[in-house]
Homo-oligomer: A and B are copies of this chain.
Amino acid sequence: MKNIFVKDILPLLGDNYKIMGNKDLYFNNISPTESVNEYSLDWVNPLKKNKLEYIRNSKAKIIICEDSLSIDEGSFPNKCLILVKNPKFSVLKILDKYFNEETAPQIHPSAILHPEAEIAEDCYIGPFTYIGKCKIQQGTVIHGNCYLYDNVTIGKNVIIKAGTVIGGSGFAYLRNDKGHFEKFPQIGGVIIEDNVEIGSNTSIDRGALGETIIGEGAKIDNLVHISHNVKIGKHSAIIANTVIGGSTVIGDYSWVSPSVSILDQLKIGNRVTLGVGAVIVENIPDSEKWTSIPAMSFHDFLIYKRKLKKGTS
């Protein structure tokens, strides 16, 4: 790995950083705490207690920490401390520039494209991925083993991880006179706007008549199910194992934790937070925070059950 000098990374830190100690040092790796060595760039998580002790004990010479930390000039003469507003964000920028591998544009020879698929020239389509009659704009990366049905429209710089299925027909049945299911035909599509990222083994169904829409900059994790005609707002996050029911609308800048289940036909506002495992069966106004009841120890559960029984019988 090549050596990166302190002066190299300064342009990534914005205007309001402060440097203390030896500015001529260099590093060649960023590693988890237990593997930090003398050539690492280390950083102090703002949630950590005993930050000065952490700095003292770190084997790294270059350390990024919060600018609110009070450190006497000369306290760490052999190190270089870089004080910034948000250390994690600065590490993000440095990792992104020096350690992140770009995916080079390519359509993998094993990928299969519908003859009418329109794919911009600088996209990546991975091995064993099938692309139906879709439109995909520039800079988009679709990893291997994905399956895109017809009528999926994807914007710029979208990333889709392996094993994800987009545009399948939704779960839409009516029971007939015999009680047997008949399928309501699903003739819509899917629109995925710019800068969306979608995890692995996720399923996004197409609209029944109109479109299922994933708004600009939204991030969707692994193993998520998004039903027909759902609309996910811009810059919202949908974490792993979540289910969003048909035609439900989620606003902008919202955060949906893992394993949330949201019924169909609901409206979830902007900047809403839904806690892990939340079961949502009603509309939720902007900026609210909803949560499920977490698990309890078996001991507490027995008391709870007794109490509940007294109440219900």
Q: How far is the CA of A162 from the CA of B95 in the complex (A)?
A: 33
**Are B279 and A277 in contact (CB-based, < 8 A)?**
yes
- CB of A253 closer than 8 Å to a CB of B: yes
- CB of A104 closer than 8 Å to a CB of B: no
**Are A279 and B292 in contact (CB-based, < 8 A)?**
yes
Number of interface residues of A (CB under 8 A): 108
Q: How far is the CA of A30 from the CA of B184 in the complex (A)?
A: 13
Say whether chain A's binding surface is mostly helix, strand, loop, or mixed. Answer: loop
**Are A308 and B304 in contact (CB-based, < 8 A)?**
yes
**Are B301 and A184 in contact (CB-based, < 8 A)?**
no
Q: Nearest chain-B residue to A308 (Cβ)?
A: B304
- CB of A145 closer than 8 Å to a CB of B: yes
User: Shortest CB–CB separation between residue A256 and chain B, in angstroms?
Assistant: 11
Q: Taking A209-B32, A243-B240, A243-B241 as contacts, is the C-beta distance between A276 and B258 under 8 angstroms?
A: no
Q: How far is the CA of A95 from the CA of B207 in the complex (A)?
A: 14
- The listed residue (B126, B187, B297, B312) touching A130 by CB distance below 8 A is B126
Interface residues of A in 137-180 (CB under 8 A from B): 143-147, 149, 161-165, 168-169, 171, 173-176, 179-180
A-B contact pairs, 6 of them (CB 8 A): A86-B174, A130-B145, A143-B147, A149-B162, A200-B203, A304-B312
